[in-house]
Amino acid sequence: MSVTADGVSVVAHIYVPTTEGLLVATSLVSRIEEPISDEALGEFVVDALGKGGFVQPHPSREEMRAWPGKKELFKVARVRSARQWYRDRLEVAVREDVDGEIRVWPSVNEGPRRGFAPVKGDTKWVAPRDDSPLALGVAVREAFAMSSIAWEG
C-alpha cells in the first residue's frame, strides 16, 4: 500500500499481490483530511490495509495498460494530472507481512516521470499488527519526515 501526504490530506492507495507475486495497484483508494492525530493516522492505515488482503490472478499486459485505477486515485486525491499528484507529495510504503508485522518505509519523490523510489539505507519501521494505532501512526509520521529530508537533500 502507498500512503501519501501533501499537507492537505493523506491518501492510501491499495496494492494487492498477484498469483505470480507482483504487487499491482487497485482502484481502492481512501482519503482523510489533515490535520489528524497520530492515532487517527494509524487507524486510517490499519483500515486501508484491511481492504487489500486478497490475491488476484496475474494480469495480462493489455490489462496492465488499461488499468483504470489512476483515474480513481486522482479523483479521490482531488487532482487532475500526474504533475499535480506529485507536487509537494510525500510517500511511504506500508506492507503487512504474513507474520503480522507491519513494515513502513519512506520513499523519495522523483516527480511525475520517475515516480516514488525507496529512500536508500536502512530506514524501515516495524510495528506488530496488535500494536496500538498510535504506534503505527507515529511510524508513518517518522517515515514521512524521512521522505521529506530525502526529497530536499
**Where along the chain do its domains lie?**
2-152
Handedness of CA 9, 66, 94, 51 (dihedral sign): positive
* pLDDT tens, position by position, 95-147: 887 777 888 989 999 988 888 888 877 667 777 777 789 989 999 999 999 88
Report the alpha-carbon distance of residue 89 to residue 26 in Å, rounded.
Answer: 20
Contacts of 136 (CB under 8 A, 6+ apart): 41, 42, 45, 46, 102, 104, 127
Phi-psi region of 66 (alpha: psi -120 to 50; beta: other; left: phi over 0): alpha
Residue 135: helix, strand or coil by DSSP?
Answer: helix
* pLDDT tens, position by position, 57-98: 777 777 766 666 677 788 888 988 888 988 889 999 898 877
Q: What is the pTM of this model?
A: 0.81
CB 104 within 8 A of CB 137: no
Angstrom CA distances, 95 to 16, 46, 66, 74, stand at 10, 10, 25, 22
**What cell numbers appear for 146 in the block?**
524521512
C-alpha 97: how far from its chain's center?
15
pLDDT at 103: 87
Task: Please state which architecture CATH assigns to domain 2-152.
Answer: 3-Layer(aba) Sandwich (3.40)
